[in-house]
Structure 1
Amino acid sequence: MFITMVHVTTFFLIAARLIGLIFWAPFFSDKQIFAMAKVALVIWASALLIFVVPMPTQLPGTNMTFFLALLMEFMIGMMLGFAASIMVIAIEFAGSLMDTQAGLSVASMLDPSTGRNAALFERMLKNVAILIFIIIDGHHMILSIFQQSFLVLPVGAPINMLEPIEFLLTLGKEIFRIGVRLAAPIILVVFIVDFAFGLLNRVAEQINIFQLGFQIKPTVSLIIILAITPALVYSILNIMEGVMKQLLELLSLMQVTI
């Protein structure tokens, strides 16, 4: 089979969509994964998909239209990757809330997977979420949905933008809802501890409540985390299993119906 200009154009359009996906998708966007490994994945997967996905019926006529087509494919990939990563962001937000309530946010360290500072619970919950994501074969499912996306949205085909953006904004609200729900036990316990400290300060004003809080809050929070770990892992598992359903729904919204 001869390689034609259609195959070359399709290769670059597939690669643009895959780069957008890798830019945001959980596990694939991890900064600890070598850049050359990501480049190799893009080249290898794009070369394989050339002979699987539907070919564009019409090639871009000018350099500008080709650039716009690449940009559109990149945006499709980014939207899919962002939809897949929202649940991980929500879990990280829950860990950040726990760190703030427990007084551990001041002890943040550089997280090599994201390139930014993160405290204890935030890093722990994120690592648990990524581990569960790999255990349930989420990385393979994302690649499978990526391949299916070309059946719903062939390369170069027009897409519907309004409804997918509204859907992503709706998913963005889930970050706060899921984050507060997962962090609720820590928030509640720390509130009770603060209330008890307030009463203690009224009874014994000579006690340094501020200094005592730095010792009690992290200890109590760690005990609560250990106690709720099974329920926490189960909740994270349910959250991560819902990612694939969200990706399929997003794809259906992108499709232009005539």
Structure 2
Amino acid sequence: MFAFSAAELISLVSGYMWVLFRIGSMVMTMPVIGTQLLPMRIRLYLAIMLTFMVAPYIPPVPQLDVLSLTSWLLIGEQILIGAAMGFLLQLLFQIHVLAGQIIAMQMGLGFASMNDPAMGISVAVVSQVFTMLVTLLFLAMNGHLVAIEVLAESFVTLPIGETLRVADFYTLVLRFSWVMAAALLIGLPAVTALLIVNLSFGVMMRAAPQLNVFSIGFPLTLCLGLFIIWVLLGNMVESYQLLLGEALIWLREMVGAG
């Protein structure tokens, strides 16, 4: 029968508990893995498995009383770090969701929405198409593996017990402007093309007022919008590679791994 002293038990629990909170918070918030597509139990098993794989290779963790106030503060710090890393990756997906919303509103599909199984909310159909596409690209480019690699490196560059660098996470707030700018750049060609189409209908109505713009313009705008989306998809991989690379670089910079 195995017998453990109180100090040995605290050391054993501390060596894995701090790691589990950081890994678990990122697994619960990162794209694809942290969505409703995976059951909560599977995500928990994945976090525990990653904890047992990473914990033996990280620097020594502080030996604290598990029920002390300092221990609870350290738990909150690890949750904040992991959730910030997962949230930064979520911004990458929200770029394309926002771009799809912009395009859908311009082409008259803003009212056509469907349930997003990953987030559990209703989004425009165009946004759902973009979300499925970037999800497949994220997995095909091993983005999830790179994110897990950066997470493992964060225990070396940002050890458990080290004072949290607020400046590193301040840059996360500045990424909201990046989301809006990138979404506008993705949707700008489609918005410009549809604006030209709407201006053309305006000229037609001015030249021939007897034409019914609603019966002619709406289906034509919808068809042209679908054609423009088809053209945009040809350049989607290159633009997504740039955005994914930029997001992963910022993820490394946030934890001091790059």
Following TM superposition, where does structure 1 have runs of at least 4 consecutive aligned residues deviating by more than 6 angstroms?
Answer: none
Q: Contact (CA 8 Å) 2:27, 2:86: kept in 1 or not? A: yes
Instruction: Give the Å deviation of 1:60.
Output: 4.2
Identity among equivalent positions (%) equals 22
Q: What residue number does 2:217 align with?
A: 213
Letter matched to residue 26 of structure 1: P
* Unaligned stretches of 5+ residues in structure 2: none
Q: What residue number does 1:103 align with?
A: 108
Letter matched to residue 169 of structure 1: V
| TM-score, reference length from structure 2 | 0.91
- Residue-by-residue CA offset, 1:176-211 (whole Å, 9 max, x unaligned): 111000001110011011111111121222322234
Corresponding position: 1:92 with 2:97 = yes
Instruction: Give the Å deviation of 1:47.
Output: 2.2
Q: Contact (CA 8 Å) 1:96, 1:122: kept in 2 or not? A: yes
Aligned residues between the structures: 253
Q: What residue number does 2:55 align with?
A: 50
Greater relative CO (CA pairs within 8 A, separation 6+): 1
Letter matched to residue 204 of structure 2: L
- Residue-by-residue CA offset, 1:64-116 (whole Å, 9 max, x unaligned): 22221111100000111112222211121111111111111201011111101
Q: What residue number does 1:79 align with?
A: 84
Match of 2:234 among 227, 230, 237: 230
Corresponding position: 1:246 with 2:250 = yes
Letter matched to residue 16 of structure 2: F
What is the RMSD of the two structures over their aligned residues, measured on CA atoms? 2.0
| TM-score, reference length from structure 1 | 0.91
Shift in CA distance, 9/58, structure 1 to aligned 2, threshold 3 Å: closer
* Unaligned stretches of 5+ residues in structure 1: none
Match of 1:121 among 120, 126, 130: 126
Q: Contact (CA 8 Å) 1:164, 1:250: kept in 2 or not? A: yes
**Residue 109 of structure 1: SS of its match in structure 2?**
strand
Instruction: Give the Å deviation of 1:213.
Output: 3.1
In the TM superposition, 1:21-170 aligns within 5 A as 21-60=26-65, 62-161=67-166, 163-170=167-174
